[in-house]
Amino acid sequence: MNHPTIPAFDTAIIGAGVIGLAICREILKRDPARKVLIIDKESHEAFHASGRNSGVLHAGFYYKAGSLKARFCVRGNRALREYCFERGLRINECGKLVVATVPAHVQQLNELHKRGLENGAEVSLITEAEAAKIDPNARTIDKALFSPRTATVNPKDVCAALLSECRSRGATVRFEHAFRSYAGNTLTTSREPFRAAQLINCAGLYADAIAHSQGVGRRYTVVPFKGLYLKYSGSSDAIRTNIYPVPDLRLPFLGVHFTKTVDGQIKIGPTAIPAFWRESYQGFSRFRPHEVPAILWQELKLFLSNRSGFRTLALEEIRKYWKPYLVRLAQQLVHQIDASEFREYTAPGIRAQLVDRVNGELVQDFLIEGSRENLHILNAVSPGLTCCFPFAEYLCENYQL
């Protein structure tokens, strides 16, 4: 059937986060004649996770060899770094130390080092004295892991640059257009409809719901995890580099750490507190009561089964709502920091963490479901920012986008 009045596109992308924008850019780089539409329900790009993260370009040593995260992270770090240089975007190349706070962590540092080497990351195991030269305030037991390639960027600047590049390559971008349905090549939104031969869902916290509406990925569901950050108002010289604890490798979270932001400021976080609705940033803002029962039910099942160590995680994370506890965790990573200078929270971020309803586990890797014509990017969690360029290349190559 012909719809002459409805604007027609080859590809429609849902979501103007870093993943949707990077995919749009890659498609148009490969095929400048392609008619690509991006819709987003918010008023501007990077409204959700893409503009509310730590802004760290990860170096690639956390992820199991062979996983998509491991395959993309080293290349992604390099590519995003180059993009920042080319576009004149700020980047803080201050590196990172992973420190041991208890003797048992030393063995895990070895494991991270091994993973890093397997993944082709530039990473070295150094002594306590060497770590002190990199950052005299970093506190560790015996050894530390040093990653010179970890850097920080402003993720909002990166997304703004990507958006402007997509537009200049000919993409049509429509904000305040929420996805409603897609059937028979007709894309219905909260405003006008469009025609599109191909749909790519990069909707972050709602990617699972949109996939389900297309009969895709029904075994997966998003459980939101809230990431709170505290800003340090004392001297920005207190920390020279990003300082991270040894993470629990069963979980897809890295633990409360010090981030040295792109402008040299210091923040601690993020937490990974299970949330009860998807966009639960503050108080009851964006409260959607209909989301609560399903999310609560998933969390209860994870809690009772303790799969992926969820019970331990949840009990630990809830405590981080108490500011002094959060600060105390960060204090373990350094010799000295003035606890009274952690006053203000910065914008929280929420992770669109996927749970596999069949085996009850938190999904660790990025997940792609569907077909070339109807593609769904699920579990684009950390290090999604770092990985955005190779991720987009992979999709174009493997799904002939």
Ligand X SMILES: Cc1cc2nc3c(=O)[nH]c(=O)nc-3n(C[C@H](O)[C@H](O)[C@H](O)COP(=O)(O)OP(=O)(O)OC[C@H]3O[C@@H](n4cnc5c(N)ncnc54)[C@H](O)[C@@H]3O)c2cc1C
CB 14 within 8 A of CB 175: no
Using alpha carbons, select from 228, 380, 230, 385 the residue that is nearest to residue 318: 228
CB 256 within 8 A of CB 284: no
Q: Binding pattern to ligand X, positions 58-97, x when CB under 6 A?
A: x---------------------------------------
Q: How far is the CB of 147 from ligand X (least distance, A)?
A: 13
Query: Which of 13, 38, 49, 151 is in the footprint of ligand X by CB under 6 A?
Result: 49
Answer yes or no whether residue 15 interacts with ligand X by CB under 6 A: yes
The span of 122-130, 135-143, 197-205, 313-321 binding ligand X (CB under 6 A) equals 197-205
At CA 266, angle to CA 260 and CA 269, rounded to 5?
90
Answer yes or no whether residue 380 interacts with ligand X by CB under 6 A: yes
The helix (run of H) or strand (run of E) holding residue 293 is helix 292-305
Query: Which of 11, 12, 13, 17 is in the footprint of ligand X by CB under 6 A?
Result: 17
Answer yes or no whether residue 350 interacts with ligand X by CB under 6 A: yes
The helix (run of H) or strand (run of E) holding residue 232 is strand 220-232
Query: Which of 8, 125, 132, 178 is in the footprint of ligand X by CB under 6 A?
Result: 178
The span of 119-127, 198-206, 235-243, 327-335 binding ligand X (CB under 6 A) equals 198-206
Residues in the chain: 401
DSSP codes of every residue in 377-396: EE---TTHHHHHHHHHHHHH
At CA 47, angle to CA 153 and CA 201, rounded to 5?
100
Q: Output 38 or 143, the one with its CB closest to ligand X.
A: 38
- Radius of gyration in angstroms for the set of CA atoms belonging to the chain, rounded to a whole number: 21
* Phi, psi at 192, each rounded to 5°: -85, 160
In the numeric block, which tokens belong to residue 338? 């003035």
Enter the DSSP assignment of 208: H
Answer yes or no whether residue 202 interacts with ligand X by CB under 6 A: yes
CB 149 within 8 A of CB 95: yes
CB 62 within 8 A of CB 56: no
Answer yes or no whether residue 296 interacts with ligand X by CB under 6 A: no
In the numeric block, which tokens belong to residue 317? 């994370």
Answer yes or no whether residue 16 interacts with ligand X by CB under 6 A: yes
The helix (run of H) or strand (run of E) holding residue 23 is helix 18-30
The span of 91-99, 109-117, 335-343, 346-354 binding ligand X (CB under 6 A) equals 346-354
Q: Output 105 or 226, the one with its CB closest to ligand X.
A: 226
Q: Output 19 or 211, the one with its CB closest to ligand X.
A: 19
Q: Three-class SS of residue 160?
A: helix
The helix (run of H) or strand (run of E) holding residue 298 is helix 292-305
> How many residues bind to ligand X according to rule CB under 6 A?
39
Answer yes or no whether residue 386 interacts with ligand X by CB under 6 A: yes
The helix (run of H) or strand (run of E) holding residue 257 is strand 257-260
Query: Which of 9, 47, 83, 220 is in the footprint of ligand X by CB under 6 A?
Result: 47
Query: Which of 382, 393, 395, 401 is in the footprint of ligand X by CB under 6 A?
Result: 382
Q: How far is the CB of 7 from ligand X (least distance, A)?
A: 16
Answer yes or no whether residue 260 interacts with ligand X by CB under 6 A: no
CB 153 within 8 A of CB 90: yes
Q: Binding pattern to ligand X, positions 222-241, x when CB under 6 A?
A: -----x--------------
Answer yes or no whether residue 14 interacts with ligand X by CB under 6 A: yes
The span of 12-20, 110-118, 141-149, 298-306 binding ligand X (CB under 6 A) equals 12-20
Q: Helices 310-318 and 292-305 sit at what angle, rounded to 10 degrees? A: 120
Residues 387, 68: Cα–Cα separation, whole Å = 9
Scan residues 24-43 and list those touching ligand X (CB under 6 A). 39-42
Q: How far is the CB of 399 from ligand X (least distance, A)?
A: 16
Answer yes or no whether residue 381 interacts with ligand X by CB under 6 A: yes
Q: How far is the CB of 103 from ligand X (least distance, A)?
A: 28
Answer yes or no whether residue 145 interacts with ligand X by CB under 6 A: no
Query: Which of 13, 20, 37, 369 is in the footprint of ligand X by CB under 6 A?
Result: 20
Q: Which residues bind ligand X (CB under 6 A)?
A: 14-20, 39-42, 47-50, 53-56, 58, 178-179, 202-206, 227, 270, 349-351, 380-386
